[in-house]
Amino acid sequence: MSPTDSYTRFVNRPFGKQVAKTIGLPRPVPLRRHTPGDRLASGPILVIGDTEAGDTIAEQLWAESYDVRRDPGLKQKFSALIVALDDTAHPRDLSERVLQVSTALRGLEPNGRVITVFREPQDPSVATDANIVAVRHGIEGFTRSLAKEMRFGATTNGIILSQEVTMAAPAAQAALRFLLSGRSAYVAGQFITISSTAGSLPTDWDRPLADKVIVVTGAARGIGEAISETLARDGATVIGVDMPAADEALTTVMNRIGGIAVQLDITNENAATELIRLAGQRFGRLDGIVHNAGITRDKLLANMDAARWDSLIAVNITAPLRINEQLLAELGQGVVAENFRITSLASTSGIAGNRGQTNYAAAKAGIIGMTQAFADQLAQTGGSINAVAPGFIETAMTDAMPTATREVARRMNSLQQGGRPVDVAEAIALFHADAAAGINGTTLRVCGQSMVGK
């Protein structure tokens, strides 16, 4: 929890817990987050559904000595429930397994995980079969709603398998591990679509980014600092980029993680050329970029001026577009790796809109569109592009908000608390791993299932 979240600390002490229970106040709990060496789950994992996906998942987990159970009638505690629904062909097929989940939920431990696995609703091979399309969309609704019923830090999310993709695909395994682990602490009610079998498994799941060279813009503080630290923890060498005014903070971060600090204005038309030159000179390669740099210039549209609008658009969407176009023009021709990875920071404001943020929402929705537009081009050489849309993340900026506004924003999600910068960083680290190549063109919300938008 955030150091400033005194309410969450209070309700997790004996007296505060009793007060909250007596008068019916929210009781958010500290979330389980990842540290290197952690197991994916601390207790038994129940796999429901004798399907291809269910059998594959059970075999994968058994191979790593996890305590996997297949009997949903067991009266015991579980750290995770995995619900294989990849064979459903009609809404009536849901009943048996959903009711098995109902029974098992009573034994789900705090900070537990529920993961549904099913087939892509938009699969063109079944597009005219109304029964199949209906049930697959039905699973989406079930998953989102169940996520809102979770308590004590538990989450529900889904893995969607595209046509002919199985749980043996590297990206499917990477997504499963992410959603089971503490890396997904602030991800709830969301879906990761596995669109292809591309990618390769790491030799060490604790260092999936070993030998990667990745640029992070806006790396000096806040979410950018957390992204840099997390990528370095997972084995990457980070080229941290920020404005000259942030040089001291940027240098401190890069020295701590063994990266290199670069003072660069990303709106410069030659920014990408300079990054390629520097990466080639220092490392001989560039494997990915994280577009984190961004600004806010909030104002109601009736009071908006050109300076506020144009400066925000230039930093938040025009610069990433230009840099991506220049990087892709160099794809596989020397420094820029063929399997290049791009991740950009979108926002829940770009999905649902936000009062006083027409400029910001336009830019962040543009990031989502850019992600979809470049996906096919990158996939052709084994690369990928994705976006992460944070919700309420505890930063210096949110600490400066009025107390009442901040408290309301913290509680307006299924986990009833704000996220941390590391929660955003964990999702970005997932997307940059070789195993995740089959996740492409998607936007993953890291928002605790915010009540704003989906």
Residues 6+ apart with CB under 8 A from 134: 90, 91
Instruction: Out of 163, 194, 225, pick the residue that ends a domain.
Output: 194
- Catalytic pick from 7, 66, 186, 360? 360
Query: Both 119 and 231 in a single domain?
Result: no
Query: Both 264 and 396 in a single domain?
Result: yes
Query: Both 176 and 239 in a single domain?
Result: no
Instruction: Out of 164, 194, 224, pick the residue that ends a domain.
Output: 194
Query: Both 425 and 290 in a single domain?
Result: yes
Query: Both 234 and 379 in a single domain?
Result: yes
- pLDDT exceeds 50 at position 408: yes
Query: Both 286 and 353 in a single domain?
Result: yes
Query: Both 188 and 232 in a single domain?
Result: no
Coil, strand or helix: which one is 192? strand
Query: Both 261 and 395 in a single domain?
Result: yes
* Cα 61 to Cα 42: distance, rounded to the nearest angstrom: 13
Query: Both 185 and 226 in a single domain?
Result: no
Stated pTM of the model: 0.94
Query: Both 391 and 427 in a single domain?
Result: yes
Query: Both 222 and 354 in a single domain?
Result: yes
Least confident of 12-26, 95-109, 305-319, 437-451: 12-26
Would you place residue 362 in the very low, low, confident or very high pLDDT band (cuts 50, 70, 90)? very high
Residue 206 in any domain: the answer is no
Residue 453 in any domain: the answer is no
Question: Between helices 271-282 and 319-329, what is the axis angle to 10°?
Answer: 50
Mean per-residue pLDDT of the chain: 94
Q: Which domain holds residue 162?
A: 39-194
Coil, strand or helix: which one is 105? helix
CB–CB of 222/253 below 8 Å? no
Q: How many domains does one find in the chain?
A: 2
Would you place residue 402 in the very low, low, confident or very high pLDDT band (cuts 50, 70, 90)? confident
Residue 135 in any domain: the answer is yes
Instruction: Out of 167, 194, 221, pick the residue that ends a domain.
Output: 194
Per the annotation, the verdict on 66 as an active-site residue is no
The pLDDT tens digits for 128-153 are 999 999 999 999 999 999 999 999 99
Number of H helices, E strands in the chain: 16, 13
Residue 392 in any domain: the answer is yes
Average pLDDT over residues 245-260: 97
Query: Both 250 and 149 in a single domain?
Result: no
Residue 1: predicted pLDDT: 59
